[in-house]
Amino acid sequence: MAWCMTLLVVASGSNAQNAQYQDIHYTVDDNHMTAEVTLNPKASGEIFLPETIQLGQNKYTVVAIGDKAFKGCKNLTAIVLPKTLERVYRSAFEGTGIMTNKANWVEGCLWIDSVLIATDKTIKPRFVVPEGTRLIAAGAFAGNKTIQRVELPACICRIDHETFRDCKNLQKVVIPASITSIGEEAFTGSGIYNNEKKWKKGALIIDDCLIATNNELPAKYIFKNKTPIRLIAERAFANRKSLKSVTIPQTTTAIPTAAFLGCEALTEVIIPATVREVGNFAFYGCKMLKSATLPQDLERLGAGAFYSCLNLKEQVLGDKIEVLEPATFYLCRSIKNITLPAHLKRLDDGVFAGCAALEAIELPPTLTFLGEQAFGGCAVLRKVVIPFGIDALPKRVFQGCTRLYRVDLPDGLYAIGEEALDGCLALEKINIPKSTFRIGERAFHNCQQLRGIVLVDHIHMIEDGAFMECKMLEEVQLPASLSCLQKGAFSQCINLQKVYLNASLKQIEDGAFCECRSLREVQWNDSLRSIGADAFLDCKYLRTPILAPEVVVGKNAFKGCR
């Protein structure tokens, strides 16, 4: 089966899930142990949002109120915001009783617990955001035609998405040194953005911060501003189709989210040693990118950072990186070698999926988490040793690794997940640890060279299609602990000749040995109570057995047998 994959990468990571705590809906992120308030269309009265929420054994820090979280809640009259809050959207309170109540507005501003949520036309044209303001909501000034000048206080660390979008008369924003990130389209459509005199060689720079670029940007861009560029805004270079080379200034410590997204002609990025973080999707879709040497002191490489960089050939990751986030190198089809950090703890979903040229990988012993589809479609990968800290082989982790002939599994591994080794055509042998409890659906499906497998006695589950189309498999002895063999478990194993049923096996489900055309011998047991439909269909060399009267036999269970 050809390898295929659908992978959705979100900034919060791949382990985001919905949850409810004290009648409020959240999205929680198990990677970062954070929570975001999500859609709550029936919220009313007064609401208290806690700093942390407890779900089972896990505690999550509440860091965000999401887009439209309480939108339209006319009966929501008050809310207490947690001190842990890092982001809030203006849209979260649109149409709520909080926003429509004029008593909550002061001089054209809506404040909630020292957070500036929104502004209106009664605001002063020259506005100084007061000290003590801890957050400004995304879109807080958006569309405000009154505002002309804004001074931000030193206590603010972020200008969020669309904060000043379409403020057509805005001519000046004082950005303090405390600002460490600027969200996408923060100034798009504003008076500053629309003023051609503010742009220099295709770049808009405000207070040493690169805000945006346009199509006048040179193909080879080197920062030559009189004062050092300390900050690059999110998506600053996004979709600059003619950009071929960029030298990041030495004064920059981060390459932000989607900074070079869609720069299809970009071949080279010179990253200084000062950079400590590369954000989510930073080089997403930079198909021609060949060189982007990462600093040894890099601390974070974001989700999808090099997603679909088809010509990126090699990477060495410094030892300060402890987590490789989802789809970091997804579809980097030219990468042959990569050096992982010595202290890596997590390798998340789809990190190297589709890296069709990746020949070898050495997983460090510190690794304790291996994500789904981590190496899916790595067609020339030949050998992998799974570290001791991994207790389960996740879904589709090696799906479509057609040349993978050896996987060493650690003692303590309790499960082999769904389609974990599906389509590993070259896999000849695998040692299943004694600790293994479960073999998931289609775990070894289409492992055409798999000749021998020892099913240890602790295995309680061999799920649907687990060994389907293992064409070279000749003999199977079911483990003593197995009571039910699930649907199609060994179907289409065309060279399977002998099967030894364990003494405790009670049920053989539908199609378990369907089309095992070489099957000649089955060692039956006395505990068997049911045989499903098509269980031994077209096993043409197998003689129909004489079974006890209490055994329930499904339709066509032995059709085509001798």
Q: What is the per-residue pLDDT for 9?
A: 41
Is residue 540 situated within a structural domain?
Answer: no
Q: What is the per-residue pLDDT for 223?
A: 78
Q: What is the per-residue pLDDT for 452?
A: 82
Question: Does residue 34 sit in the same domain as residue 156?
Answer: yes
Contact 110, 130 (CB under 8 A): no
Question: Does residue 23 sit in the same domain as residue 129?
Answer: yes
Rounded Cα distance, 427 and 456, in Å: 19
Distance of CA 116 to the CA centre of its chain: 31
Q: What is the per-residue pLDDT for 304?
A: 97
Of the three residues 312, 342, 360, the one that is the final residue of a domain is: 312
Which residue numbers in the chain have pLDDT < 70?
1-15, 225-227
Contact 146, 168 (CB under 8 A): no
Question: Does residue 165 sit in the same domain as residue 267?
Answer: no
Question: Does residue 22 sit in the same domain as residue 60?
Answer: yes
Is residue 276 situated within a structural domain?
Answer: yes
Q: What is the per-residue pLDDT for 1?
A: 43
Is residue 120 situated within a structural domain?
Answer: yes
Is residue 63 situated within a structural domain?
Answer: yes
Is residue 98 situated within a structural domain?
Answer: yes
CATH number at residue 103: 3.80.10.10
Question: Does residue 206 sit in the same domain as residue 127?
Answer: no
Question: Does residue 116 sit in the same domain as residue 214?
Answer: no
Provide the pairing of β-strand 209-213 with 203-206.
antiparallel
Question: Does residue 263 sit in the same domain as residue 174?
Answer: no
Contact 283, 269 (CB under 8 A): yes
DSSP string, 297-338: T--EE-TTTTTT-TT--EEE--TT--EE-TTTTTT-TT--EE
Q: What is the per-residue pLDDT for 16?
A: 75
Rounded Cα distance, 398 and 409, in Å: 13
Q: What is the per-residue pLDDT for 226?
A: 66
Q: Token pair of 467, please?
A: 């060994």
Of the three residues 312, 340, 358, the one that is the final residue of a domain is: 312
Question: Does residue 30 sit in the same domain as residue 170?
Answer: yes
Q: What is the per-residue pLDDT for 15?
A: 62
Cβ count within 10 A of residue 422: 26
- Residue 103 backbone phi and psi in degrees, to 5: -65, -20
Question: Does residue 234 sit in the same domain as residue 170?
Answer: no
Question: Does residue 105 sit in the same domain as residue 132?
Answer: yes
Rounded Cα distance, 225 and 189, in Å: 23
Of the three residues 296, 312, 328, the one that is the final residue of a domain is: 312
Question: Does residue 118 sit in the same domain as residue 222?
Answer: no
Give 57's contacts (C-beta < 8 A, 6+ positions apart): none
Is residue 74 situated within a structural domain?
Answer: yes
Cβ count within 10 A of residue 196: 5
Question: Does residue 239 sit in the same domain as residue 287?
Answer: yes
Domain that holds residue 100: 16-182
Rounded Cα distance, 420 and 466, in Å: 10
Is residue 1 situated within a structural domain?
Answer: no
E strand residue ranges, 325-390? 337-339, 346-347, 369-370, 383-385
Domains in the chain, number: 2
Ramachandran sector of residue 86 (left: φ over 0; alpha: ψ -120 to 50; beta: rest): alpha
Render pLDDT for 368-390 as a digit per residue (tens, 0 to 9): 999 999 999 999 999 999 999 99
Is residue 146 situated within a structural domain?
Answer: yes
